[in-house]
Amino acid sequence: MLESLTRRRWVAAASGLLAVLVLLLTADPVFAQEAAPHAEKSVFLHIIESAGWLFAVVLGIPSIALVALIVLLMLDLRMSVAIPPGFVDEFIDTVNKRRFKEAFDMARNDSSFLGRVLTAGMSRLQYGLEDAREAASNMLDSIRSGKEQLNNYTAVIGSLGPLIGLVGTVLGMIRSFMSLGQGGPPNPAALSKGISEALSVTFLGIGISIPAIFFNAFFRNRIISVSMDTGHIADDLLTQMYHNSKKAGAGPGSTTGTTTVAPPPPVPPPPPPGRGAV
């Protein structure tokens, strides 16, 4: 519940920041036009108007998706989410006290990367340490694969930005040449409108692509770093729990998980003297 509430706050904060940025880019030119009708228009407002409503929608959808992906991955790939502070110390203290069931419940009730990896490994610990390590590694690969698939969409947006800009460039040049093909003296207004549309859409496409490529590389490295740290800590905790369970199972009649170590059978007393003697 707390994690979901925090995520909503981050999404709301990112949306508000984006709205404030758009307002700052468009508010000054609007007020300047009201004060002086013949004042020069802002270049940002000119780019948005030149792109037109069609490319505003086409480029707006991946822009919103990119912001949402960045906020979501920023929240999911925090070290405090992958490895909660205090969890390792509490888990080690519980294992050292031989409270293995409590340690397993602690990992199972934790939704962090480390908790999920430990739960998968501990569920196979009764079959040996290597089996537990393999199960933990498979769970870690599954978590990492899910984050990488989500991060791949930032790479897709980074690739689509220049392509959409190229479409706008071609379309703007076609309109410019159409105005030249009508015959008569060239119309500077029609020519400038087509060229301005071509350059504006190209600029916006590149503007989307640059942050998408940057955050794709950033999150890719972040996923590798978080996965390696989680894997190393999970392996250490599984090894410690395995050896502690072995020590606990060394005593007569002690239990380790679901395996019971029985005491040795009693030795029969020697026969009384005089009986059985030849």
Q: What is the pLDDT of residue 16?
A: 53
pLDDT of 271 over the 90 cut: no
pLDDT of 253 over the 50 cut: no
Q: What is the pLDDT of residue 49?
A: 78
Q: What is the pLDDT of residue 184?
A: 67
Q: pLDDT-derived band of residue 267, with 50, 70 and 90 as boundaries?
A: very low
Residue 119: which of 129, 185, 132 has the closest Cα?
A: 132
pLDDT of 50 over the 50 cut: yes
Q: What is the pLDDT of residue 275?
A: 43
Q: Give me the percent of the chain exceeding a pLDDT of 90.
A: 32
Output the CA–CA distances (angstroms, integers) from residue 193 to 54, 62, 170, 173, in the order listed. 15, 25, 13, 10
The phi, psi pair for 260, rounded to 5°, reads: -105, 130
Taking residues 161-180, report their average pLDDT: 86
Q: What is the pLDDT of residue 11?
A: 53
Q: What is the pLDDT of residues 222-252, one digit of tens each?
A: 999 999 999 999 999 998 888 888 776 555 4
Q: What is the pLDDT of residues 69-83, one digit of tens each?
A: 999 999 999 988 899
Is 95 within 8 Å of 241 (Cβ atoms)? Answer: yes
pLDDT of 197 over the 50 cut: yes
For the chain, what is the total number of helices (H) and then of strands (E)? 8, 2
Report d(CA 220, CA 54) in Å as an integer.
33
Q: What is the pLDDT of residue 148?
A: 94
The contacts of residue 215 (CB under 8 Å, 6+ apart) are 66, 69, 70, 73, 154
Is 208 within 8 Å of 161 (Cβ atoms)? Answer: yes
In this prediction the pTM is: 0.69
Q: What is the pLDDT of residue 169?
A: 86
Give me Rg for the CA atoms of the chain.
33
Q: What is the pLDDT of residues 136-160, one digit of tens each?
A: 999 999 999 999 999 999 999 999 9
Q: What is the pLDDT of residue 72?
A: 93
